[in-house]
Structures are given as C-alpha cells and as structure tokens.
Structure 1
Amino acid sequence: MLGISTNCLHQVPLEEALEALVPVTDVVEVMDDGLHYLESVDLLEQYSFDYSLHAPAKGVNIASQLPPIRRASVEVIAASFAIAAEVDAPVVIHPGYASWEGGKDGAAAWMRTSLAELGELAEEMGVTFTVENMPRWPYFFLTTPEDLPLIDGYGLCLDVGHAHMNDCLEEFLAVPFGHLHLHDNHGHLDEHLAVGEGEIDFTPVYERLRKSRARCIIEVRDFEGALASLSAVRGHID
C-alpha cells in the first residue's frame, strides 16, 4: 500500500492539503502536528482516504524523566489514537529521547513505561501503532537495530532516510517492519528530499517492499517532490 504524508503540504491548512491529495492518491498519512493537528475526526470523515496518522512529535517525549511531561506526552498520543480509531487508521509514534546523553538509562526505563501504557490504550481502542526509528542525534532512542529491544516487541516504522543517516539501512531492512517512511538525503541532514534527489540506493528497499505488506508512505518536504517520488516508486514496486 503506497501513499503520501501531508508533511509535503505542512505549510497549508489540513483541509487544503487533503484537497490537493484527492486526485493524487487514495492513501494518506496525516502529520498530526502544527497546522495539521487534529482536534476531531470531522475533517477526515469528509474524505474517503485510507488513512494512517503520525502522532504529534513536536514537544512530545514519552521518555521524559519529568513525570508531568511524560504523562502529558502519553495523553497527547492517546488523543491521536482516539481519532485513529474512528477512521480505522494505524498510528506512527516517536520513541522519545534523553534530555542529556548520560541520562539515557533512566529515560529508557520511562520510555518502556510509556509504551506499556500506550499498548494498553491501543488495545482498548482497537488501534495498532508502530514506533519510528530516529535520525542521527546522540540523545534519540531507536537510531539503529541494536535499539530494537527498547521497544519491547512493538511494531517498527522503518524510516529509510533516518536509517541511511545512521549507516544502517541494510540492517534495518533485514528486520520485520509494518510501516515504512520513504524519503532521500545525503547522509548528514534529515532533508526529506524526493526519491532520487539524495544518495540513497533504493533498490534493496524496493526489493523488500515487493515482498512486504507494509504500508509505504512518501514523507518528503514539498508537494512537487511527493508527486515525483510517487511516480518513481510506483514504477518499482507495482
């Protein structure tokens, strides 16, 4: 299943973004943040898209060692789960981060607590979620496959661009994943370029996708790049 994230139209209101995507794709991932933050399901129900949601990430940290921040982060993601349940959409979340490099052990314990709470909430609501691997930053969790035990068996959203930044795309492609984010870069910055504009070799990604039932979402920075990427990817996995 191939679709597009509203991230490519993040600078316009969500209604305008969805209207632009109507003639382009039947599968849309809503970047539930910024101008596309969802307070209800009303707008989504006006369209017939097959949705997924990317839960809010800006200001959210499920690994925070400050209990009020951690609890609030879980509540924010739970609100995204509630909306997802109404439109039968899977959800992507971020794993959180340590506030300083030396604090990762304590933050990891809180992340596991948050994931357990979110797992219970997801089960109650009938929602599935995956946890996204992160780009190169020393405070982030889930930057390489060695971090997978930290998410306690919850599903993986493989972000191809992030994996390439951490020089471990091949290793990530060898592990199970249920969701995939597709974008390009030059290995140093999280550029979210259109497929083919960076240096990633997508051949093994396409091979893996042809064997997988994972939802593949193009998550690039602009609409033109999303259209170009959609055309390129369709030609390799159809």
Structure 2
Amino acid sequence: MFGISTYCLQHQPLDVALDTLAPITRCVEVMDGGLHSLETAEPLESHSFRYFIHAPYRGVNIASLLEPIRQASVDVLVQAFAVAAEVGADVVIHPGYYAWREEREESTRQFQKSLSELSAGADDLSVTFFVENMGGPDYFFLRSCDDLPLIDGIGLALDVGHANLNGCLDCFLDRPAAHFHLHDNDGMRDTHSPVGTGTIDFAAVMEAVHRSGVIPIVEVETLEGVLASIAALEAIDAGRR
C-alpha cells in the first residue's frame, strides 16, 4: 500500500482533498498548512484513514538562536502532536536552520534543546514523530548523513527527493528510516515530480522501503502525478517478485 500526501491537492479545501483521496488510498499524510491547516482533529474524523501529519514548517524554526522564536516553534509542533494524538497519527517535522555558517554550533545546541522538549511533549501525548532530511540551501540541518547523529534516538523521515538533490540518496538508503516521502527530480530542483520522470533509482528506494516495513507516502505535486507514481511503483514491485 502507498499513502498519499495532501500536498497534491493543496489548493483544494481539506474536506474536498480527503474525499478525493478516499477511493484511492487508505493512508493519508496531511500537509498541515494553508487550506489544510489543522487547529483540531475534527476535519479528519469524517474518514477512517491511517493518518500521518506533516507539521507546520513555514515560519517554524526549532534551531533558531532567538529563544522566543525557538520556543514558539516548539509550541506549534506540540500543538500538531496534540491533534495527531486524537487520530493516532505519527508526525513529520522539519529540523530547523541557521542564518550564518558561524552560527551553526550554537544553532545545533538550540536544535537539540528543541528535540528534547519535543520528545517530552510527544511522550506526554503518546505520539511518535520523525525528522525529515532537507534539500536545497545549505543552512538547513539534516541535508546529509553527517547530521544523523543530531537526531539519535528519533526516527528519520527520508525524503528521497531531498536526498537526491544533495547527492546523498545512496547513503540515506543504507541507514534505517522510519518514514518515506517519495517523489522524483532531476537532481537540480525540488520539483516533486512523478516517479520515473527524474534521476532517482526507485528500485533501490523500494528495496529500502520494504526493508523498513512502513507505508511510504507519495508526495508528488499533482494528483495525476500521484496516480502515475503509484502505477510506476507497483510495476517496480511486480518486477521484484
């Protein structure tokens, strides 16, 4: 089974997105932002999906050197944990970033302080959360396997597209992952393209997915691309048998 991120229907209201996905999958990851923002779990209760929640990330920085921003970011994520607890969902979070290379060391301490607080909050709510590896600009944490010790004891949400952008997908595939985001790109831009249209070897990706035993989430930009991706992934799986 493949889960689907509501990212592909981000311009539709959440209830419409969930109704659209219901005939296609039994597992949905809600992108908590924009039209899909979750103040409570009520919008999710109309369906019996296996839910994941991608916590808010715009304006959120759990590695900020500005303590009020760091603390507010933690509070935002703990609120996402509270919503997740109501529907038995696991949560994906972003690791934060720093503005200047010279600030990395202090920002690392802030990041780990936040992870400690988030772990306590998740334990209180009986929620599991994962930290997603990042692509793009080099001021984000967790762009490569070198940063994995920073999240020791917390599950990795492996975004294969992000890892491909940074040229380190093979390294990440060799490490245990607790969650997967599947989408393709050309190694240059984070396009969230359909599987098979970029440079990622999804046969290797699916080997890692099957080793993990988890439900992978297709996080492609359009619904048509999601459907094409699922067909391509099912063909890869059929070829493994």
TM range (shorter): over 0.9
SS of equivalent residue, structure 2 residue 19: helix
Distance 1:234 1:119 in 2: 35
- CA shift digits 1:58-82 (9 cap, x unpaired): 1100000101110110011001100
- 1:155 is aligned to 155
- 1:228 is aligned to 228
How far did 1:181 drift? 0.3
Distance 2:99 2:12 in 1: 31
- CA shift digits 1:166-205 (9 cap, x unpaired): 1111110111110000000001111100101111111111
How far did 1:95 drift? 0.3
How far did 1:235 drift? 2.9
Aligned residues: 238
Structure 1 residues without counterparts, runs of 5 or longer: none
TM-score scaled by length of structure 1:
0.97
How far did 1:211 drift? 2.2
- After the TM superposition, list the runs of 4 or more consecutive aligned residues in structure 1 that deviate by more than 3 angstroms: none
- 2:38 is aligned to 38
How far did 1:237 drift? 3.4
Provide the alpha-carbon RMSD of the alignment.
Answer: 1.1
- CA shift digits 1:84-114 (9 cap, x unpaired): 0010011000000002222111111100000
How far did 1:234 drift? 2.4
What is the percentage of aligned positions where both structures have the same residue?
53
Mapping for residues 202-213 of structure 1, pairs under 5 Å: 202-213=202-213
Does structure 1 residue 191 correspond to structure 2 residue 191?
yes
- Over 3 Å counting, the alpha-carbon distance change for 1:41 and 1:106 in structure 2 is same
- 2:108 is aligned to 108
TM-score scaled by length of structure 2:
0.96
Q: Could you tell me which amino acid in structure 2 is paired with residue 214 of structure 1?
A: V
SS of equivalent residue, structure 2 residue 216: strand
Distance 2:133 2:186 in 1: 18
Q: Could you tell me which amino acid in structure 2 is paired with residue 154 of structure 1?
A: I
Mapping for residues 1-238 of structure 1, pairs under 5 Å: 1-237=1-237
CA contact (8 A) 2:194 2:225 kept: yes
Distance 2:150 2:79 in 1: 24
Distance 2:165 2:4 in 1: 21
Distance 2:90 2:235 in 1: 25
CA contact (8 A) 1:97 1:141 kept: yes
Structure 2 residues without counterparts, runs of 5 or longer: none
Distance 1:181 1:42 in 2: 25
How far did 1:130 drift? 0.5
CA contact (8 A) 1:29 1:53 kept: yes
